[in-house]
Structure 1
């Protein structure tokens, strides 16, 4: 088993940390979107929340970050136990970039078809990571 300091240097840590940063950013964004309603900060002149239409989308997207990505993290944690496999690194970055794009589409548009296409790419990237794990363990 690799030493702990080797695990921290594994290239798969960076895509995982990038996804954590995305989730943290979404928490900040959600706090800002809720501020007019909860704290009365940033209200319109009529007292309304200028971010009201985005708040449920941000909230839903944040919840999405704890569903399928769970299997991404599990796969990466298993893969950091072995030397770097270049295509697993590519798949992990496809997943993370796809999650960022998915967030933009879900928050800024109502285009469910596009969001579904992007999710499919994320879905296949994680399946590819798990395929790597299974193929190495057989």
Structure 2
């Protein structure tokens, strides 16, 4: 859905998904190939002006989030930005066999304190899905200087 939106807005999109089944479905939906790959293995250099990681990095452990953000930094061009979203909170949890890494602004800023990113903004939002109105999200924007 997000890749299609960016394509419809005229952006060039490199989309990836860990699941071959979901990548195939996404390829059909967006009309271009979706790479089957693990975001933890992202290996691009100075290629992107932006990275959109909406509700994806939150399924990694904190140490994996940190390492993946380092790879994202390497993949971005100068002045490129990354957007990422996480469940809001101090405590990580598992639900229905999936793990969720949660952050508050302070917890996230502490995690990235030694990264080369420039902090741009964090903001909280509610979940728009029916029945989940009380769930909160931490949205993060970082910039490569």
Higher relative contact order (CA 8 A, sep 6+): 1
TM over 0.5: no
TM range (shorter): under 0.3
Structure having the higher Rg:
1
> Which protein is richer in strand relative to its size?
2
Tell me the TM-score normalised to structure 1 length: 0.21
